[in-house]
Amino acid sequence: MWLIVLFDLPTETKKERKAYTKFRKFLLDDGFNMMQYSVYYRHCASRENAEAHTRRIKGALPEKGFVNVISITDKQFGDIQFFVGRKEKPPPNAPHQLELF
């Protein structure tokens, strides 16, 4: 599973910029990577793990703004086409699963 977080937060006042920065730092500390401005993604080992991260996001929501959380499968994430300028870029590699013997 992959979680994608899209957000549009106000940054007009100092308080709003602080809330924006705090939320962005929360995402980075929780293992998310920036896909583009205000779009972050993270791999989750299972649906339960994705739900746990979604609950964490709910707990860190700023007072104002819009936040969307989308969960997609590995296959759907693999079908995303990434472009930088006019050139296609390969998608990020999924992390390897931990194997226990």
Tell me whether residue 89 is in a domain. no
CATH number assigned to the domain comprising residue 13: 3.30.70.240
Tell me whether residue 46 is in a domain. yes
Tell me whether residue 26 is in a domain. yes
Tell me whether residue 39 is in a domain. yes
Residue-wise pLDDT tens digits, 31-79: 999 999 999 999 999 999 999 999 999 999 999 999 999 999 989 998 8
Tell me whether residue 86 is in a domain. no
Residue-wise pLDDT tens digits, 8-20: 999 999 999 999 9
Residue 8: which domain range? 2-75
pLDDT at 97: 59
The number of distinct structural domains making up the chain is 1
pLDDT at 94: 63
User: Would you say residue 100 has pLDDT above 60?
Assistant: no
Using an 8 Å Cβ cutoff, are 47 and 71 in contact?
yes
Tell me whether residue 85 is in a domain. no
pTM of this prediction?
0.83
Please say whether the dihedral angle defined by the alpha carbons of residues 59, 63, 68 and 74, taken in this order, is positive or negative. Answer: negative
Whole-angstrom Cα distance, residue 43 to residue 50?
Answer: 8
Tell me whether residue 66 is in a domain. yes
